[in-house]
């Protein structure tokens, strides 16, 4: 499943192909993906210019000149293929040969700049919607969504406000999309490790008695942003170096310090700990019991 940094990498890859261009033809090849397409989908998009391509959590948002926003979610296996000047690229991974339409090519956007953007999704957990710009924040997609972890909103103060009084384990609170939107399992494990916080510590332990953020709360906010920004940067550099890369970008695994490293030695200098796995809410948590003490 693409995590937030991969979605941001995809956004950056799509931006030059879409922004400032008009949709000249939109081909929708099935009535639904995870959900039905909105009514008159292609008709509402054709002829519109893409004013901007944004991202909110794991959603891509294309602002159309009609005042509607094309909302796109990649689900589990969605990806975009960009064909321009005879070459096909998949933002977030690389795809050298793309002859004709594949079975899983569900939407084909043709743009006035000559680019073709194809949405491919083998498992069809992705979806698309059209929402008026003025209603985007209150739409079903975003109404109960928490703050954006890559933005300036995430701070020690915000963490204190969101986590005050909560006995929920820190890991679960960080994965709660109603509090912070788009933080996935991998990046939460990494951020807790780098901050030296135990994943089962109560979320409220980051707030002192007067409601102020603890030092660890400030550190955690900075580290979450760093971990995500590093992953976006890794995706971006792989995009730039695509001539030497023929595999999938995947989950930037080379940079993980704890995720999926059960029984391997901790990478903190001088730490003799061993990375340990525990299961929280049905999902694996990886941590170092030496670096991440409970109190």
Which residue among 266, 285, 286, 287 contacts Zn ion (CB under 5 A)?
266
Collapsing DSSP to helix, strand or coil, 54 comes out as: strand
Name the catalytic one among 2, 5, 149, 213: 2
124 is in an annotated binding site: no
Query: DSSP string of 173-184?
Result: HHH-TTTBSS--
* Dist. CA 15–CA 12, nearest whole Å: 5
| Residue 162 in contact with Zn ion, rule: CB under 5 A | no
- Region of 50-58, 226-234, 247-255, 265-273 interacting with Zn ion (CB under 5 A): 265-273
Residue 291 is a binding residue for Zn ion (CB under 5 A) = yes
d(CA 45, CA 203): 44
Q: Alpha-carbon dihedral of residues 87, 121, 10, 139, nearest 10 degrees?
A: 140
CA dist list (Å): 122 to 33, 34, 79, 102: 10, 11, 9, 10
The residue from 44, 283, 289, 290 that is catalytic is 283
Using CB under 5 A as the binding rule, whether residue 61 contacts Zn ion is answered as no
For position 276 contacting Zn ion by CB under 5 A, the verdict is no
For Zn ion, which is the closer residue by CB, 164 or 278? 278
Tokens representing 252 are 């930037």
Q: Are strands 23-28 and 50-56 parallel, antiparallel or unpaired?
A: unpaired
274 sits near Zn ion (criterion: CB under 5 A): no
Report, in Å, the least distance between residue 266 CB and Zn ion.
3
Q: Are 70 and 64 in contact (CB under 8 A)?
A: yes
Q: Is 218 a known ligand-binding residue? A: no
Q: Is 58 a catalytic residue?
A: yes
CB 199, min distance to Zn ion, A: 14
Annotated binding site: 104, 123, 166
Positions annotated as catalytic residues are 2-3, 58, 283
């Amino acid at each position: 499943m693409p995590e937030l940094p991969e979605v941001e990498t995809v956004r950056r890859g799509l931006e030059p192909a879409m922004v400032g261009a008009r949709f000249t033809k939109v081909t929708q090849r099935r009535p639904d993906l995870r959900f039905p397409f909105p009514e008159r989908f292609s008709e509402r998009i054709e002829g519109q210019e893409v004013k901007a391509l944004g991202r909110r959590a794991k959603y891509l948002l294309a602002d159309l000149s009609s005042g509607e926003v094309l909302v796109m979610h990649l689900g589990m296996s969605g990806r975009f293929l960009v064909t321009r000047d005879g070459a096909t690229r998949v933002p977030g991974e690389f795809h050298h040969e793309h002859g004709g339409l594949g079975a899983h090519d569900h939407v084909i956007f043709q743009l006035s700049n000559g680019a073709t953007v194809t949405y491919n999704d083998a498992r069809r957990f992705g979806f698309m919607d059209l929402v008026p710009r003025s209603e985007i924040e209150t739409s079903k997609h975003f109404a109960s969504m928490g703050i954006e972890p890559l933005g300036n909103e995430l701070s020690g103060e915000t963490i204190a406000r969101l986590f005050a009084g909560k006995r929920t384990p820190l890991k679960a609170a960080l994965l709660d999309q109603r509090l912070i939107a788009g933080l996935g399992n991998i990046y939460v494990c990494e951020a807790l490790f780098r901050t030296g916080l135990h994943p089962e510590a109560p979320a409220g332990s980051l707030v002192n008695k007067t409601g102020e953020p603890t030092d660890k709360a400030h550190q955690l906010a900075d580290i979450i942003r760093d971990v995500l920004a590093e992953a976006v940067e890794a995706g971006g550099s792989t995009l730039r170096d695509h001539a030497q890369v023929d595999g999938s970008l995947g989950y930037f695994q080379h940079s993980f310090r704890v995720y999926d490293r059960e029984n391997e030695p901790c990478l903190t200098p001088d730490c003799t700990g061993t990375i340990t796995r525990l299961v929280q809410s049905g999902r694996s948590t990886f941590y170092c019991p030496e670096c991440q003490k409970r109190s």
